Structure 1
Amino acid sequence: MDLFTPERPEWTVDDACIALGQSESTIYRYFRSLVAAGLIFSARPGCYLLGPGIVHYDRQLRISDPLLRAAEPTFAELSCEYQGPGMIFISRIYRDHVMTMHEHRLGVTPFPEGTFARGRLAPLFCGPPAFAILAFLEVRAVRAMFQKTSGDDTEWLEIKRRMRTIRALGYAASIDDTDPGFLIVSVPLKHDDGGIAGSLSLSLPSSSDNTALIATIGSRLVESAAQMGCRATASAS
């Protein structure tokens, strides 16, 4: 499935054999299984694209995930308070990246698709949505993730310093970092046992008074995240 990207959405069996270093019979078997599940389909003879089954499973995710269900009232409340343009979104760690699972655009003015657009893989050690999760995990677990990157000891010390600051504040924030012209504020989303489920973020155009705005948003998102956690727990029970 990782073969299918926006840069290359269409694949043949022969091309997949070369890319994966597998035999033709193995790739045919893979493709038949994916076609049967609706995850890919033949757009024209011998050429395959991502299939409609993904949309089906996407809907299943939206209606079955307690956290995503709990987000709807929160998104509605925040939409009334922040008119936009902007975006509210929930992120989770996926493989060695952070990925937005659910998003809501604020206002009627178009808001650009940035680093954290839904479904886009963003670097794990980059931006508030990721650091709002990482800062509240065990340091040794974060260290293990960091060791998979090409970062050095100096970078690791800076990451630890940043995580300490985030834990003290309760939220992560950046201005003109991953997406120039915008600020992002993120808070951790916690399970009732204290584990980290993901992060809740709000992105808005940066302003002349970013410091005050970030502090206000941070406090509001901490409150919203707590409410979401309570709703998710009640929904799952």
Structure 2
Amino acid sequence: MSSLTKMLSILDVFSSSATSMTAEEIAEQMGFSRTTCYRYVKELASVGLLVSSSGRYTLGPRIIHLDYNMRQSDPTLTAAKLVTPKLVRVTGGDALIAALFDEQIINVMHETGADNLQLGFGRGRIMPLFQGASSQVIVAAMSRTRLKRLHERRNAEFGEFAADWTRLWRHCQQIVETGYCISRGELDSEFVGIAAPIRAASSGEVNSSLSLIFHAEHFALFDEVVLGKLLVDASLTIGKAT
């Protein structure tokens, strides 16, 4: 990794269970020398990405500013703002936009529905790589070569498909042919998710997905095919604007 990549990777050590750390703790966790770590955290603090208080570092306010700018400028999110409110109003479900980032999938938008679901993986949370409809439709859209490399590198994260590449590929092909994916209780036991890929018109690539999440009894009220088509049409609308 370059020095810049190493320095920025420090931001990833902070989480809901590790909200503050000393420079020494960061150095130990990252495997950096103390001298190098002190230099990195000083640089990050100087631009507001970290804040120091009583010898401990936390994430800084610059991140909130960057988050705001991303939400204003990202073409997928801009297009989704015109689509998701109607989806939520018509279906009552919670709408999510998930995006692929460096072999990770993260929820970047959450529009709350009628039931005000308390999702375990809301906005800002990194999703399991192949659990839940949001992730599966993104991964399923990968080329065979790319998917096989991902399966080899991160095999354990493919759950029931970890030991069987051929079965995984067939499953992904079924998702692609259907146009959407339904997951039942994979992330939250009482919820059902249905997702469709967002294919960017500019590149033809799938790097994000649009999902609707429901209580299981709420989802049972819908015709799955009709709901799937509604979601696919909404995803196409978003994709055309990106």
Task: Say yes or no: TM over 0.5.
Answer: yes
Decide whether aligned partners of structure 1 residues 50 and 81 sit closer, same or farther in structure 2, where only a CA change above 3 A counts: same
* 1:160 corresponds to: 169
> What are the equivalent positions in structure 2 for 1:18-97 lying under 5 Å apart?
18-42=28-52, 44-83=53-92, 86-97=93-104
Deviations 1:99-132 (A, max 9, x none): 111111112x431122x31111122122211111
Identical residues among aligned pairs (%): 27
Cα distance between partner residues in 1 of 2:105 and 2:79: 20
Aligned residues of 2:119 and 2:188 also touching (Cα < 8 A): no
1:12 to 22, 34, 40: 22
| CA shift for structure 1 position 177 | 2.0
2:113 to 88, 93, 106: 106
1:205 to 215, 222, 232: 215
Amino acid in structure 1 at the alignment position of 2:17: E
Pairs aligned (count)? 227
TM value normalised by structure 1? 0.89
Amino acid in structure 2 at the alignment position of 1:134: V
Decide whether aligned partners of structure 1 residues 87 and 46 sit closer, same or farther in structure 2, where only a CA change above 3 A counts: same
Q: Please state whether the residue corresponding to 1:61 is helix, strand or coil.
A: helix
TM value normalised by structure 2? 0.87
Amino acid in structure 2 at the alignment position of 1:119: G
Amino acid in structure 2 at the alignment position of 1:187: A
Cα distance between partner residues in 2 of 1:155 and 1:206: 29
Q: Structure 1, unaligned stretches of length 5 or more?
A: none
Cα distance between partner residues in 2 of 1:148 and 1:120: 22
Amino acid in structure 2 at the alignment position of 1:9: T
Cα distance between partner residues in 1 of 2:85 and 2:72: 17
Cα distance between partner residues in 1 of 2:230 and 2:38: 52
Cα distance between partner residues in 2 of 1:133 and 1:113: 20
The reply on whether 1:183 has 2:188 as its aligned counterpart is: no
Detail structure 1 runs of 4+ shifted over 4 Å in the superposition: none
Cα distance between partner residues in 1 of 2:193 and 2:103: 21
Decide whether aligned partners of structure 1 residues 6 and 81 sit closer, same or farther in structure 2, where only a CA change above 3 A counts: same
Aligned residues of 1:93 and 1:124 also touching (Cα < 8 A): no
Q: Structure 2, unaligned stretches of length 5 or more?
A: 1-10
